[in-house]
Amino acid sequence: MQTDTTSTAPELPLHFRVAAVQMVSGPDVEENLAAAASLIGEAVAGGAQLIVLPEYFAIISADETAKVRMREPAGEGPLQRFLSETAARHGVWLVGGSVPLQATTDGKVRNTALVFDPQGKRVARYDKLHLFGFRKGTEHYEESRTIEPGEEVVAFDAPFGRVGVAICYDLRFPELFRAMGDVALIVMPAAFTATTGAAHWEVLLRARAIENQCYVLASAQGGTHPSGRRTWGDSLLIDPWGEVVARLASGPGVVIGDIDRLRIAAVRESLPALRHRRM
């Protein structure tokens, strides 16, 4: 008997429009959600089918324990409802840059990126693995005081291919991105400081795109926040050759561009570095 081996799986689209939302979030959660909703609407109007919000899109406060007080159980809470309902209302893939979820340690949260499909169903959860620590003069950050690190590398299936998820400080650890496997896109919600962003943001993003021969979509906080904190911004879409497709330097707004599967294939064919790996 002859077996029919013809695949019935749908072909992946050659082009898929994505967007990064850039914000300057403050301590008022309702104001931040309203701003996020407006910018998501702008991205949808521009044809975006996958939209990424920045890290801490719902709150950036001078009081680092504020996010601990508003932490949510996994699967319920106003921030998760906002993401689910917004994704379903617009019929888009939505990556919620980071949401404070309950941790196993009292007084801490998981800094979590949640991914919702166009029906509003959560399809992926990534808990930030690497916690930022920095000290220079009077500038000082120590995320481990209020955040519990995650344990797992996360990627999910989108209509155009696999998508790896990382958050902000993760950008400095290339082994994380190798562990994602073969991905067409890496999404990078962030709130890079102005100091470290000016020095390293673009070069690290371009390096991750070049190394993994995939697109990188970075959604940033970008400006001076009510607390006085300054974030670098410069939300970017970078192609597999390391070229910048679209960017927004500072202030609230949206970066829109296309994932081109033919571009990925062409880069990997002309320079098959991923096939040449020996470790």
How crowded is residue 200: how many other Cβ atoms within 10 Å of its Cβ?
Answer: 15
168 noted as active-site residue: yes
- Is 152 a catalytic site residue? no
What DSSP designation does 241 have? T
- 3-state DSSP assignment of residue 235: strand
User: Sheet harboring 50-52: ordered strands across?
Assistant: 122-127, 109-116, 93-102, 50-52, 15-22, 253-260
Give all strands of the β-sheet with 154-158 in edge-to-edge order.
154-158, 161-165, 185-190, 215-220, 235-238, 244-248
148 belongs to the catalytic site = no
- Token pair of 140 as six digits: 């000082």
- Catalytic residue chosen out of the listed positions 55, 143, 148, 214: 55
**Options 67, 128, 143, 148, the catalytic residue:** 128
Please name which of 26, 17, 8 lies closest in space to residue 246, comparing C-alpha atoms.
Answer: 17
Catalytic center residues: 55, 128, 168
